[in-house]
Chains A and B, each alone.
Chain A
Amino acid sequence: MATDATKPRPATKNTSVTVTSEMEEAPTRSYDVKELPRFQFFLIDSGWIGPVPELIRQNLGMITHLHDNDPFYILSSEQSNQILKKHPHLIGKDPILLARDLHGSRMTGATEYHGFHLNLGIMKDPEKALDVLQHFLNFLAVHRKSQSIESKIRQQLHRDGFEGAIEVLRGGAESLI
């Protein structure tokens, strides 16, 4: 279903950024090739023309390489537009990378949906958008085997709690936005 526009291309020199020291190191472990998928990724991209959407399209390959055990669905611009029309609260937020947590569904029953999304469309600076994407993928890789990844999102990405507040005020969160 991927159109030519959504096919990944190698990143250009202009768009590469240094991976920040904020990123955590993934614990050393051996991956089981037959490990069940933890996430289902969906990319909703209605086709806005701009540096950030283009940058995401160029780096899609990295997501599939880093999370090659998880199915990754790329919606065409027509399919994305259908979703946006049906759910207008998403307009202006795409490209959206939606990660459905299959582990959460398995634990609590198939009727409940668990997961999180990254609204890259609200980013204006392509370098910061790439930084955020890398940070997000790093977070998912590090916490892939976590039982409660949603609580880690709240603690570490939303900077909840006292420590988080200190970090936000120190400017740690500002560098992500």
Chain B
Amino acid sequence: MNSVSDIITSAFGILLLAAVAYELKQRRKRLRELYNVLDAEDKQVVADLDEMVKHGLITPYTPH
């Protein structure tokens, strides 16, 4: 009887830990979607923005 309850307790413990780990992963993923360092794709975007600056298509904003 004791061994059955031990198995059930362990199973619930493992399930709880897995749920916590999953939740942690999801929240971190959302944080990375919100703000992140520039990756390879973004670097191409920055290169295009650089070109726009170089050709004078965009100029620094000055508040009125």
Report the bound CA distance from A98 to B52 in whole Å.
14
B34-A119 in contact (CB<8A)? yes
Q: A118-B34, A153-B35 are in contact. List 4 more A-B contacts (CB 8 A).
A: A74-B61, A113-B43, A119-B34, A177-B27
Which A residues fall within an 8 A CB radius of B? Answer: 1-2, 7-8, 40, 42, 60-61, 64-65, 71-75, 79, 83, 86-87, 89-90, 93, 98, 100, 113-119, 122-123, 132, 136, 150, 153-154, 157-160, 165, 168-169, 173-174, 176-177
Q: Which residue of chain B has the shortest Cβ distance to A97 in the bound complex?
A: B35
Q: Which of A61, A98, A158 has the most C-beta atoms of chain B within 10 angstroms of its own C-beta?
A: A158
A86-B48 in contact (CB<8A)? yes
Secondary structure of the B contact surface, majority rule = helix
Give me 7 A-to-B residue pairs in the complex whose CB atoms sit less than 8 angstroms apart, sorted by A's number: A42-B49, A60-B61, A98-B46, A116-B36, A150-B37, A160-B28, A176-B31
B38-A114 in contact (CB<8A)? yes
Report the bound CA distance from A60 to B60 in whole Å.
13
Given contacts A8-B63, A113-B46, contact A118 B35 (CB under 8 A): yes
Q: Which residue of chain A has the shortest Cβ distance to B64 in the bound complex?
A: A7
A119-B35 in contact (CB<8A)? yes
Given contacts A98-B46, A115-B46, contact A87 B31 (CB under 8 A): no
